[in-house]
Structure 1
Amino acid sequence: MTKLAVVTPSFGPDAELFAQLHASVLEHTTDDTVHHVIVPPRDRALFGRYAGPRCRVWTEPELLPRRYVRVPRSGLWVNTLRPWPPIRGWVIQQALKLSATAMIEADAVLIADSDIVLVRPVEAAAFRAGGRLPLHRAEGAVHAGMTRHVRWHQVARDLLGLPDAPPPPLHDYVSSLTFWDPVVVRAMRARIGQATKRHWLDAFTSRLHISEFILYGVYVDEIHCLDDPPSANTALCHNYWDRTPLDHDAALAWADRLNPEAIGMMISAKSGTSLPVRQAAVRRCAEVAER
């Protein structure tokens, strides 16, 4: 069993971003760390260049039961046992992270989106406290105006067989870079099966609105570690979430604010920031990390 694995869902349009992430995984993790990338079948050849001892390329169908079928020329899937409503690709992507993590034999899994770049060495053991991984938990950060987050909390509780969510504020567990424990994910999937009397995947994908991160966080805090919740860590990643592109000067100024505890940086792919500007920010973050 390896100590750490990295899991990244990706696809063709993010191939250049993934290349930066994977290079940083090779640089900042130990030689036994394997980067698992999950892609649509059409992109298997594009990402196949990275396949080797430290990168495993999975296609989506390899991690799903055969009853899950992609609808041609759409971003939708169907569960042929219950084909309506169809399943959004975003929900399938979340389920794929859970499937991959549960399958991997590792002490810890680092979930990293394609637009992440690691900037400091990563050893899961360094983050464990009392033998447990930290949880991305922004305490009380979900307010009543964050309607999607509030709904995600209720869906998580429904799947886990918990009472209705209390009124906000609620914790926010959503992050583009976070540690998951495969043992916890396997136990969480079993809990969903017990609570819903369905296969965990069928119950998960039947929901139109869901967050895998909030599901995991609620399970850890309110079931798995109810009497002694793990420590919170919201500083793993230096994030730029805005939809406005960064220019060169703004990107460097942003990079200069890298948190001393951050192991990664993220400029959202949805920001439209150009690749040269992004690369300049990566270099500056690396410089800051070495100080």
Structure 2
Amino acid sequence: MTTFRFSLITPSYKPDFERCQLLCRSIEKFAQTAINHYIVVDRQDLALFRQLQGAQTHIVTKEEIVPWWIKRLPRVNAWLNFRGLPIRGWILQQIIKLAMAETITDEVLVFIDSDVFFIRPFNLEDIFIQDDKVRLFRIAQRSPFPEYEKTAIELLGIPAIPSNKYIGQIVSWKRDNVLKLHRHIEAVSGKHWIAAVASHWHLSEYVLYGAFVDYILQEQAGHYYDEGAYCLGYWKDVPLSKPQLEEFCQRIQPEHIAVMVSAKAGMTPDDYATSIEEAAYVTNS
């Protein structure tokens, strides 16, 4: 039986600091095994986020991860790219996730946004490993994003692919597969993989990795598929009222180990954390 080491990876920024702080507290409270947690922020936010640094919580900057030919532009959410067009902040964040495999050595990368927090004890080995294979979230024939699939097809050099959904909360990848993905993109494009990825305006890192696993690596990927939702999320663009929060809490199920409340809900962590934790406690009993 293989023993896997896990790294949680959380991109964040100053407006989400309190949410990220709640996430860190929940990991410390509920994680049943040792986990390295990497929080990736802009250099300008480093001093603020260093408050969260600990024995297993590491704060790294985007500037440390990207190559020298990508530089942040002042006062805008974009990056100068000396090998192509400027890179929007949203695309850069996805490049950062793909690049983390070159920064860390743990075998399994688990991506979790800073607006998520854990609500009950969890063991990543139990959740993400079956028969020495790593969980890959996938719902067959459910993708609503054809533009992301088109980008994956071009970067991977493959024909049209079935429409699968790989986008979710708490997504796990294998580090060695990500490194293989880098090399494959470079072989197809003839460019550094970051330059190739950055040349696209519509990108999903989850769709790109999922398509690579499904149509290039296949049985050699070391993944098993799972449609389970371990995180209950509030995604709506409208503020969350107190009655709506109560209704949301009633939707928490025993299989949910975490909850995501978007900043668009118009609530601070102090507004919702206690209610959600109490509801989770009820589902435990």
TM over 0.5: yes
In the alignment, the residues of structure 2 paired with residue 30 and residue 102 of structure 1 have an alpha-carbon distance, to the nearest angstrom, of 27
Aligned to 1:47: 49
Aligned counterpart, 1:248 = 242
SS at match of 1:32: coil
Which residue matches 2:212? 219
Which TM-score applies when normalising by structure 2? 0.91
Moved more, 210-219 or 97-106: 97-106
Contact 2:33 2:123 in 1 (8 A): no
Q: Take 1:114 and 1:195, find their aligned partners in 2: how far apart are those partners?
A: 34
Q: Residue in 1 aligned with 2:274? A: 280
- The separation in 1 between residues aligned to 2:74 and 2:124, in whole angstroms, is 40
Q: Deviations over 1:37-91 (max 9, x none)?
A: 0001110000001112111100111001111001111111121133xx2110000
1:156 aligns with 2:158: no
Instruction: Name the CA shift for 1:65/1:231 in 2 (closer, same or farther; >3 Å).
Output: same
Alignment of 1:158-173 (within 5 A): 158-165=154-161, 170-173=163-166
Alignment of 1:69-218 (within 5 A): 69-82=71-84, 85-126=85-126, 127-142=128-143, 146=144, 149-165=145-161, 170-218=163-211
Q: 1:30 to 1:101 in 2, by over 3 A?
A: farther
Q: Is the 8 A contact 1:256 1:285 kept in 2?
A: yes
Structure 2 gaps, min length 5: none
Instruction: Give the unaligned 5+ runs of structure 1.
Output: none
The reply to whether residue 65 of structure 1 matches residue 59 of structure 2 is no
8 Å CA contact 1:21, 1:116 repeated in 2: yes
Q: CA deviation at 1:285?
A: 4.2
Contact 1:119 1:285 in 2 (8 A): no
Query: How many angstroms does 1:139 deviate by?
Result: 2.0
User: Structure 1 residues 280 and 109, CA, compared in 2 at 3 Å: closer, same or farther?
Assistant: same
Matched position secondary structure for 1:134? strand
More moved, 180-189 vs 228-237: 228-237
Kindly indicate whether the alpha-carbon contact (under 8 Å) linking 1:252 and 1:280 is maintained by their aligned counterparts in 2: no
Flag the 1:199–1:122 CA change in 2: closer, same or farther, 3 A: farther
The 2-side partners of 1:3 and 1:290 are apart by: 27
One-letter amino acid of the counterpart of residue 10, structure 2: T
- Tell me, yes or no, if the aligned pair for 2:119 and 2:277 is still in contact at 8 Å: no
Q: Letter of the aligned partner of 2:272 in structure 1?
A: R
Name the SS of the counterpart of 1:135 in structure 2.
strand
Q: Measure, in 2, the Cα distance between the counterparts of 1:48 and 1:275.
A: 20
Moved over 4 A (4+): 226-229
Render the CA deviation track for 1:137-160: whole Å, top value 9, x for unaligned.
Answer: 122222xxx4xx101011011111
Letter of the structure 2 residue corresponding to residue 225 of structure 1: Q
The alignment's TM-score, normalised by the length of structure 1, stands at 0.90
- Cα distance in 1, alignment partners of residues 219 and 264 from structure 2: 36
Tell whether the 8 Å contact from 1:44 to 1:57 is kept in structure 2 after alignment: yes
Judge conservation of contact 1:4–1:106 (CA < 8 Å) in 2. yes
Question: What is the CA RMSD across the aligned residues, in angstroms?
Answer: 2.0
Q: How many residues were matched structurally?
A: 281
Q: Distance in 1 between matches of 2:167 and 2:192?
A: 24
C-alpha spacing 1:67/1:164, structure 2 compared with 1 (3 Å):
same
Does residue 261 (structure 1) correspond to residue 255 (structure 2)? The answer is yes
Q: Distance in 1 between matches of 2:78 and 2:209?
A: 24
CA distance in structure 2 between the partners assigned to 1:265 and 1:45 by the alignment: 27
Q: For 1:26, give the aligned amino acid.
A: E
CA contact (8 A) 1:152 1:209 kept: yes
Partner SS state of residue 107, structure 2? strand
How much has 1:178 moved relative to structure 2?
Answer: 1.2
Alpha-carbon distance change, 289 to 215 in structure 1, aligned in 2, over 3 angstroms = farther
Amino acid at match of 2:258: G
Task: Tell me, in whole angstroms, the C-alpha distance in 2 between the residues paired with 1:5 and 1:111.
Answer: 8
